[in-house]
Chain A
Amino acid sequence: MTDKFTQSKLDRCISCGYCLPACPTYQLTGDEQSSPRGRITLMRALQDGKMPFTDALEESSFCLGCRACEPVCPAGVEYGVLLEEWREISWQGKNRPLIVRGLFEAVKSKWRVRAMGVISPTARERKADPNLNLMMGCFERVLFPKVSRTVARIAPEVSITKNQGCCGALHAHNGELERGKEMAKELGEKLSGTILTTAGGCAAHLAAVIGNERVNEFSQWWSAQEKLLKPIEKNGKKIRIGFQDSCHLRNGLGIFKQPREILKSLGDYVEIPDASGCCGAAGSYSLLQRKNSRKVIAKKIEDIKDLNLDYVITVNPGCTRQLATSLRRSRVKTRVLHIAQLIEMAVN
């Protein structure tokens, strides 16, 4: 278990503050401690023993972990890694939120993850290309089983096995960094060749542990296949589509152009203001910080409403759930789908 931050990573930050405008929680509060720069200042004080870790627990939880501060940081500070270390050090014992403990239990072993899929009909097992294996996700199995079934239909070359565990992103982001890395390695050994995933968050974590070359996020993979798609029409008009980035896919792996290119070929693509900004799902954040999660998405819901979209497309199950729930609560008719599901509408 880590008990110290990696000093060289803390040293990278020169406190210039270029990250402030990119940070969703700083935008909410305007308080320095809710900014990436402020949080790194806190981490330094923790590292030097000037402050007990318990004092800063609240800020370690308030951070979405969206990593929007990373691409805008000229100094190249790896904030995401520092946050993982922070939670690894301080979210131990009674300081670990109950919900997180529950989630960890749910995905503890392969059979538990598999059991989650029993209640919902996910894709069937099959042997196709041995070097292209679908990652089933853990929570996606329960929440959105249609996504894996869709991928199975539109990508016949993909092999599918249900006997696989969680990738460990959940753990890495919630105070079990080492366990999270182990789980990613286990999954990397279980699935051979390229691992195809429909979850941007899982893609970024897996890639960070087992290497970028082993992991393909679905939109990234599809755009490389150069399969021609025809625009989708509704009542004789091209559908209006918006897109919500997956934070870790964009900020961690730099993938944001590919899904947009696909969507432009499928209909009338409209860029939602701040589409790259976190929707507030942020993995377990929407469960742990319900109020703040709602505050983060509020403006986005207004924007989507104003744009009068037919669909908002996502590339990560957490975002799908957050957007769908929030849009429903605000009585906005726009539907939320994973990009694979929209592609299937064009294929048919």
Chain B
Amino acid sequence: METIPEVVERISQKIEAKGVTVDREKVRSKLTLLVEEFGIQIEEAERTVTNELLREHNLFTPPSSGQEERAISDVTPGDWVTVEGKIVSLAEPPSSAIAQSGIIADSSGAVQFVVWAKAKAPTLKERTWYRLEAAVVDEYRGAPNLKVHSGTKVTELPEDRPLMPSVVPIASLKPGVGSIRAKFIEEWEPRHDRMLQTGLLGDESGRIKFVLWKDGEREKLEPNGVYTFYYATVDEFNGRLSLNLGTAMYIPEDGDIRVSTGGETIQGAFVHMGPGSGLIKRCPVEGCNRVLSRQNYCPVHEIQSSFRYDLRIKGVIDNGKKARNVLMQCETVTQLAGMTLEQAIEIAENNPLGLDDVLIQLQHHVMGKYLRCAGSDIDGTFLVKECGRVQCDASLHASLINRAAASQGDDAA
């Protein structure tokens, strides 16, 4: 094992090689403290003291792997990188351990970044170009995230370079940061006090849920308006993407977009009718619309004296390979079971079994039946827009007979 004086000498020479005079007594006392008082391995203590002195004299140079200069679109978790980019957005740091967070972009793309409070880095200004040397890329919520730590060298670049964000179709968004041109197609009721607005955006390629938080002075989107959104954060949750506009810039655009219906058709047997099906009562409070319990209790507005009736079916359509939750609104229920809302109310109010009788009649019409439904999948539930019974197909019958007969010879062989 090396002795303390040897290590003191080596550290001092290393620092002096950079043209600074070193107080050997100070080096010795630091090293002795670490090794003798704290029982730290001498090699580890040597590294710590060296780095501390380098920083003290502003001589710190990052490990060489961090010198590799990269286009921002190429950074991948696990890399040490050097990038040059423009701070296009700054957000409220979510924790006191974080000095700043936001988005940095170059002409190739954009990435979220975090400046640790411990990094003692200069405060980054929005709309300014910087060179970040030896930043670490890790993964946060499925997206690459650039970390500015104490070893990262931050240099402000004097010039403003042209920067044109590349706008992509919704279908090709990935977790991270993205820019899209889209239409505001559906507004949903905010489910949280901090939410300013939420709903669906769509373009020719698909649709995506978005959230606009109340932080900062944000303007609401106009329903059916077309916008270009620059540098929105793309989050992934349960395998679904959503767009956080907190970091985004959005500019209203002229023209219209033919939004993809995102539609698909599913077929299978209706095998289960779930709770919440049949005639239901909804909360009459403006904008609430929640389902009331049988005792007219709304989870938010408590006991209600009046209510609005609605008819729906929540169930499962199963094709033998996959069971899918489906939701049928009043119109579809009428189309399928031949029961209108008025008829359902009539049954419920004049029948001793009341609401249960509505349910029994609906079950009789749909349970076990083969259905074909057109609609779209929202968060794991298939919203049915149109629905009909499947008819027996004579040509399918014939082809199956042939298929069964044709290969018998093969199997026997």
> Do these two chains really belong together in a complex?
no
Interface residues of A (CB under 8 A from B): none
